[in-house]
Amino acid sequence: MRIFENEMAQAVLEVLREMPSNRATFAELRELVAEKIRLTRADRQENPSRPGEERWTQIMRNISAHRRLGFDSVGGGLRLSRRVAVAAARTSRKKSQRRGRRR
């Protein structure tokens, strides 16, 4: 079974949240997302429309077209939209504050 777009979007979101600028090139995403998700043999097959690339990378590229998911395309990569980046920063601060209280 191949990876679904919503699973890919979640993995990309996690990677971008970890990046200092909330943005990454597609090359960076290919490397970092592949470490976060479990790719099947079907995902790893060569993409017929992009020789030399695996099928799952096309799914990753497709999410850049879906602004509703909170991604913006930028110069050969993706970034979190401002709205999502601000929400991610707030969530990170809240988690840090909770960890600090537990000590």
| pLDDT tens track for 47-58 | 998 899 999 998
pLDDT tens for each residue of 1-26: 788 887 888 888 888 888 888 788 88
Query: 5-18 and 26-36 helices cross at what angle (nearest 10)?
Result: 110
β-pairing verdict for 50-54 and 46-47: antiparallel
pLDDT tens for each residue of 69-82: 566 666 556 676 66
Question: How many of the other CB atoms lie within 10 Å of CB of 63?
Answer: 22
Output the pTM of the full model.
Answer: 0.67
